[in-house]
Structure 1
């Protein structure tokens, strides 16, 4: 399909009023998703061969269901072991079709990432050729180019690479304790592109730390509240697949190898006995079951309307960035605007880093909403960041339904009168954590069985 045709279709989609924001993904993607749980993947970045079964089990034990390695020539044994342990594997193309062909002889492939972070014309054209080759050679395989979101025109990438998902990476947690001020803007930009082209929305999330002289590249190792903030803000933007950039074995990675130096430098062979699971590994393991429970619904929903914020604006109240390749239309986020039924929300006690409020639709036109407590920070557990939240509804809302993150079951919650015009619901939200709600109207949740 020509780029002009794609842009015209996107313009029609974005400008046509829609009572229901739900839209279908491609048949190819639907077939892929129907056979799998919500994607929770980890990118490995070193390939020692000792005790391979135990190394791969670290992925499974953290709640991950897909093993990724960038250079397939180096990871064939890892792919075989992942398949043996019942988790899928994926690889990058790295402009090396021969390696992909050899890897694809191994059962259990999930997808092929045709390229990563194209920033210059020459590199981008290589990725274009690789994506064309993957689509032609493996037409039933999910393929995509992963972006550094600010370094390439999204429309050109979609038109030339034909991705099956929209994916980018973001590592916003700085070593000095701050969070990148444009992280939430960038999440909404990714949401906009995914909606524009009706693509599933994936991301690589930060799951390691490192020491660097340049502040923008000095990351902290996420703890519980940090990891939940990353995961739940992405889910609230309509995310349907998470990939963790693990840097397995390196400094402050999910699994640290004490015999390996910075960025993989080593005086000798790595040993499994030297490996240690860090706080980030435990944070991923802690949140992964919740993602799978919520994911049974989220994969059937589509993000809709405005991303709203209330409370402290340090994470969201900034002038829009001026990127070389930026959004071509205004994005739809900012201070929360009163909804017909949800009038307001607030953190009623404790340090406030704001709440995020997002809405979704299912295919039947049912509306859902997610509220995220954005409290997070260095060395902060989910309970350190827990805050009481009051949600105020129209007086007609006597009950709301919530999908329990731990059991996956739907709960009916009673609201309480708040004067003559409103009703309130008060809950404790753990640090960085979101809750998924639906209006209690007798209609079923769009749950995968």
Structure 2
């Protein structure tokens, strides 16, 4: 116990002393090699239960703007992995908690992997073309589980140098005791290529009040260890009554996100330096998800009950399809940037454990002109050359709200020296030069932001943006 506490403390001290004068820092070599070949990772989590018409099912999947199939049952997903690769998709899978024992075996007589132990099974699975990452752990609950995750990540990193290793925590576990260890010890011991976290904040009647503060802590944990950070994004519901008629506890009532909701979840994460998202869930749950089956109970019915003709894209599917191109466009810059402080909010109320924006650098203030009490998020970035950027996000979202319902006019107020500002147009991918106007003793710029949506800006100083190729 003490040994790992010393390792975590030593790692954190070294990281602190190596901090650049800028917020920017390089990621690990394995991740950098991976990122050079890949865009912004947008994965959909799938239970891969259906077996019919896989090309057509994956065409629906790609049409939502997703580029990575993330399977929940690696030993039962071989045909899906093959079909995903044939369709031009990457695929990923996970090391579920029940695999904590290395002696666990596949017990499916119909599977070509039947009888194989954990590492033998993964050796066969990950050797298939198209593998991009594997996740281990949603937050280990015992020392044995933690040790098992550490051993597994080491094995994957050694045997499969081109497959990213991702470890994950529930967002509530960040900065909290987890069987006597915290996220720094977890990262130091498991040595992932990517740190991920999850939180499903949109409940039927309200929203988790600490969601944004917890997202910041996730960003801080990744930042301390010079890791990219990914997040699970809510695209599922848990209604009060299960399909079997039983009642759920009120704390577990989740609602399916609407258009402005999905944008809110994505753009707040981008503003916190997010590098990739996993939509939970695309298909396969006792409740509505991105792709609904109107007949089968996706969680329990046998595979032969699932029929392609019964599939219905839900409003979450349409919301993801609508925003995915904008995310990919902004990621041309964002994947090259790193966040830095401050992270600030404006509005009548500031989110729990978060800070009000008081102005920074040449940006004096930001306000929602349509309703000054509604919240905005302002974050800052820099690139390898030390160029500064900032993002402004309209946080307006809610039940049954479209992006246009939540659209607001936002005013940015600058120092008098700022005659123009640059913006990466999230629709066209073009760099725009926007002229500010004189307003009293300041200069201002008014921009219209759809509900839940953000824009990325850079000071217009003649220096180029750090952009990935189209």
Using the size of structure 2 for normalisation, the TM-score is 0.88
1:290 aligned counterpart, secondary structure? helix
Cross-structure match for 2:23: 21
Q: Deviations over 1:323-378 (max 9, x none)?
A: xxxxxxxxxx4011211200000001148430000000000000000000000001
Q: Deviations over 1:195-247 (max 9, x none)?
A: 10000010111011121422322111111100000000000000011111115
Distance 1:13 1:40 in 2: 29
Distance 1:120 1:260 in 2: 36
> Residue 192 in 1 paired to residue 192 in 2?
no
Distance change >3 Å, CA 352–CA 58, structure 1 → 2 = farther
Aligned residues: 432
Distance 1:54 1:247 in 2: 15
Cross-structure match for 2:420: 399
Moved more, 178-187 or 146-155: 146-155
Aligned partner of 2:314 among 278, 283, 288: 278
Cross-structure match for 1:171: 200
Q: Deviations over 1:163-212 (max 9, x none)?
A: 11110111000011x11101001110001101100000101110111214
Distance change >3 Å, CA 193–CA 355, structure 1 → 2 = same
Mapped contact 1:144–1:161 kept (Cα < 8 A): no
Moved more, 124-133 or 13-22: 13-22
Distance change >3 Å, CA 367–CA 11, structure 1 → 2 = same
Moved more, 66-75 or 355-364: 66-75
> Residue 139 in 1 paired to residue 161 in 2?
yes
Distance change >3 Å, CA 9–CA 194, structure 1 → 2 = same
Mapped contact 2:43–2:68 kept (Cα < 8 A): yes
Cross-structure match for 1:327: none
Cross-structure match for 1:330: none
Aligned partner of 1:70 among 65, 69, 72: 72
Deviation at 1:3, TM superposition (A): 6.0
Cross-structure match for 2:458: 438
Deviation at 1:35, TM superposition (A): 0.3
Alpha carbon RMSD of aligned pairs, Å? 1.9
2:6 aligned counterpart, secondary structure? helix
> Residue 306 in 1 paired to residue 342 in 2?
yes
> Residue 244 in 1 paired to residue 279 in 2?
yes
Deviation at 1:127, TM superposition (A): 2.0
2:360 aligned counterpart, secondary structure? coil
Deviation at 1:274, TM superposition (A): 1.0
Alignment of 1:106-125 (within 5 A): 106-125=128-147
Alignment of 1:213-224 (within 5 A): 213-224=248-259
Distance 2:391 2:211 in 1: 18
Distance change >3 Å, CA 174–CA 439, structure 1 → 2 = same
Distance 2:15 2:144 in 1: 32
Structure 1 unaligned residues grouped into runs of 5+: 321-332
Distance change >3 Å, CA 352–CA 433, structure 1 → 2 = farther
Distance 2:142 2:435 in 1: 55
Alignment of 1:305-344 (within 5 A): 305-313=341-349, 316=351, 318=352, 320=353, 333-344=354-365
Structure 2 unaligned residues grouped into runs of 5+: 100-117, 241-247
Deviation at 1:267, TM superposition (A): 10
Using the size of structure 1 for normalisation, the TM-score is 0.92
1:166 aligned counterpart, secondary structure? strand
Mapped contact 1:259–1:266 kept (Cα < 8 A): no
Distance 1:309 1:351 in 2: 12
Distance change >3 Å, CA 439–CA 308, structure 1 → 2 = same
Deviation at 1:97, TM superposition (A): 2.0
1:406 aligned counterpart, secondary structure? coil
